[in-house]
Amino acid sequence: MEKYIKLAAPFLLGAIVFLIPTPEGVSVNTWIYFSIFIGVVVGLILEPIPAALIGFIGITLSVLFGVGPAGSGEKAATAGASINWALTGFSNATVWLIFAAFMIGIGYQNSGLGKRLALFLVARLGKSTLGLGYAIAITDGILAPFIPSNAARSGGTLYPIITSIPSMFGSYPDKDARKIGAYLAWCALATTCVSSSVFLTGQAPNPLALEVASKSGIATVDWSGWFIAFAPVGLILFLATPLLAYIIYPPEIKGSKEVVVWAKDEAKKLGKISLKEILMICISLCALVLWIGSSKFGVNATTTAILVIIAMLACKIISWDNFLANKPAWNVLVWFGTLVTMAGGLKNVGFLSWVANFAGHYLSDFSPMSAMVGLVVLYYFIHYFFASTTAHVTALLALFIVMAQAIPNIDVSLVTLMMLLPMGIMGVLTPYGTGHSPVWFASGYIKATDFWRLGFIFGTIYLLVYLLVGIPWITHFASKWVF
């Protein structure tokens, strides 16, 4: 019964919004599109069916009503114009960058490089439980630029290795979880949230958000600009997270040589480093150089990602069958391809212009700095209401940009970047807030009450560090280099 309620809710709420009297200054077509958009957002939050299918349905309804293309707020678009607009997301370079990055993740799995790296660090740092926490952080930090799915990175690569450790000490989800298992699970969750903010390619919604901002007419940053802007906050949180977890959520076991022995044994089973792993290292380093120096070398980030796929295919790290069978990658292509289009449609039909005029009456009295901080804090904590960062971006980013534009003398590009950079760390707030959260929540090592408590504590600490260190850094120093 619950499933059918969730399935009906998007259509029902969309219909209710449509039946509400159209506000003054909004056309009927604009209101139709907004009601469809609301239905899509509700669907993404409840997710009664796959998220990509929800976006697909939203696009199709928009096409049938002839709303979405530029100018369709006043006059319904023709059938040809509507379908051409609906498919624009699938020609978007950012969407293909995200798709390609998922394929790169398969290369790390197939080559065994991700597993070898994790075991190597555990063997070196695993003599103490705190050292294990830093081993987890370092492994995730190294993989983050190359595997943009934090679910695949943390839940796919790290989860099997990390969850093999607690049982060695008699620590299980239903028995003595606090011995060591709970601490390791929380470290894995929290450090992945940090790395998701440090790198533009740390999680899939980051480049999606930049694309939404770009479609709203906002100047955006490249890979290196994003990294520079968040680097001081990222370094502090990277170094602090395992230690904070050790203090706030301490393990009962402080260290053991057994973990080191286990990691070395597992590494021996892998044998000597293979040719595929060496090739994967070389390909990754070349990709990183091109991503960082994209403006200097004149190579688009998406072009680099596609070159990596071709190189992996040529080196037989992945096969063409792997390429075709990567369901998460194809799923995200459809998902983000439709969401980018839907988000751009809000501007096309004139809805954002109406919101800007409406918000201007209430925000014009705020000073630029207080408004900037207020928008960042609100955008951050409102994540409690979203089951994914992607849904958060799709539903609210364009609206928040419009609110910022209504504030006199504010640098909209700057405040937009400030809202986007913490999107990774805000995933720590809830058990459902980002891709890898449900994986660690479902592991059972962390009680639900502890999960919510730790999420609020760490989420608040992360935001305070960002406000106290990140905003002054970006405002006074980084903005000179990143834009």
Query: What was the pLDDT predicted at 156?
Result: 66
Would the pLDDT of 134 be above 80? yes
Please state the rounded mean pLDDT for residues 374-398: 85
- Name which of 34-43, 52-61, 438-447 the model is least confident about: 438-447
Q: What gap in Å lies between CA 34 and CA 171, rounded to an integer?
A: 50
Asked if residues 197 and 232 have their Cβ atoms less than 8 Å apart, the reply is: no
Query: What was the pLDDT predicted at 479?
Result: 63
Would the pLDDT of 18 be above 70? yes
Please state the rounded mean pLDDT for residues 300-318: 89
Would the pLDDT of 294 be above 70? no
Query: What was the pLDDT predicted at 389?
Result: 86
Q: What gap in Å lies between CA 98 and CA 89, rounded to an integer?
A: 12
Q: Which residues of 102-114 are buried (b: 16+ CB within 10 A; e: fewer)?
A: bbbbbbbbbbbbb
472: confidence class by pLDDT, cuts 50, 70, 90:
very high
Q: What gap in Å lies between CA 346 and CA 70, rounded to an integer?
A: 10
Would the pLDDT of 106 be above 70? yes
Query: What was the pLDDT predicted at 241?
Result: 97
- Name which of 19-23, 408-412, 467-471 the model is least confident about: 408-412
Higher pLDDT, 125 or 101: 125
Residues whose CB is less than 8 angstroms from the CB of residue 169 and which lie 6 or more positions away in sequence, other chains included: 179, 180, 253, 256, 258
Higher pLDDT, 426 or 391: 426
Q: What gap in Å lies between CA 481 and CA 224, rounded to an integer?
A: 9
Query: What was the pLDDT predicted at 240?
Result: 96
Query: What was the pLDDT predicted at 77?
Result: 92
Please state the rounded mean pLDDT for residues 257-285: 86
Q: Percentage of residues in the chain with pLDDT exceeding 70?
A: 95
475 burial class (0-12, 13-18, 19+ CB within 10 angstroms)?
middle
Higher pLDDT, 65 or 110: 65
Interval 42-98: pLDDT, tens: 887 787 888 889 889 999 999 999 999 988 988 999 999 999 999 988 887 777 877
3-state class of 255 per DSSP?
strand
- Name which of 193-207, 334-348, 350-364 the model is least confident about: 350-364
428 assigned to some structural domain: yes
Query: How many structural domains comprise the chain?
Result: 1
- Name which of 265-279, 292-306, 322-336, 374-388 the model is least confident about: 292-306
Q: Percentage of residues in the chain with pLDDT exceeding 90?
A: 36
User: 172 — phi, psi (to 5°)?
Assistant: -125, 160
Interval 393-423: pLDDT, tens: 887 898 889 888 888 888 899 999 999 999 9
Would the pLDDT of 199 be above 90? yes
Of the candidates 437, 464, 444, which has an alpha carbon nearest to the alpha carbon of residue 190? 437
Residues whose CB is less than 8 angstroms from the CB of residue 141 and which lie 6 or more positions away in sequence, other chains included: 191, 195, 198, 238
Please state the rounded mean pLDDT for residues 105-128: 80
Would the pLDDT of 308 be above 80? yes
3-state class of 452 per DSSP?
helix
Interval 203-220: pLDDT, tens: 888 988 998 898 888 888
Query: What was the pLDDT predicted at 270?
Result: 85
468 assigned to some structural domain: yes
Please state the rounded mean pLDDT for residues 16-30: 91
Would the pLDDT of 29 be above 80? yes
For 49-203, strand residue ranges (E) read: none
Would the pLDDT of 253 be above 80? yes
Please state the rounded mean pLDDT for residues 28-54: 88
Query: What was the pLDDT predicted at 455?
Result: 94
Q: What gap in Å lies between CA 167 and CA 249, rounded to an integer?
A: 19
Contacts of range 308-315, beta carbons closer than 8 Å, 24 or more positions apart = 308/100, 308/104, 308/107, 308/283, 308/284, 309/100, 309/103, 309/104, 311/283, 311/286, 312/103, 312/104, 312/107, 312/280, 312/283, 315/276, 315/279, 315/283
82 assigned to some structural domain: no
- In terms of pTM, does the model score above 0.95? no
188: confidence class by pLDDT, cuts 50, 70, 90:
very high
Q: What gap in Å lies between CA 283 and CA 416, rounded to an integer?
A: 33
352 assigned to some structural domain: no
- Name which of 33-47, 155-169, 414-428 the model is least confident about: 155-169
153: confidence class by pLDDT, cuts 50, 70, 90:
confident
Residues whose CB is less than 8 angstroms from the CB of residue 120 and which lie 6 or more positions away in sequence, other chains included: 263, 267
Would the pLDDT of 261 be above 80? yes
Query: What was the pLDDT predicted at 395?
Result: 79
38 assigned to some structural domain: no
361: confidence class by pLDDT, cuts 50, 70, 90:
low
Residue 202 domain boundaries:
104-272+363-483
For the record, the structure tokens of 131 come out as: 């050292």
Would the pLDDT of 36 be above 70? yes
Residue-averaged pLDDT of the chain: 86
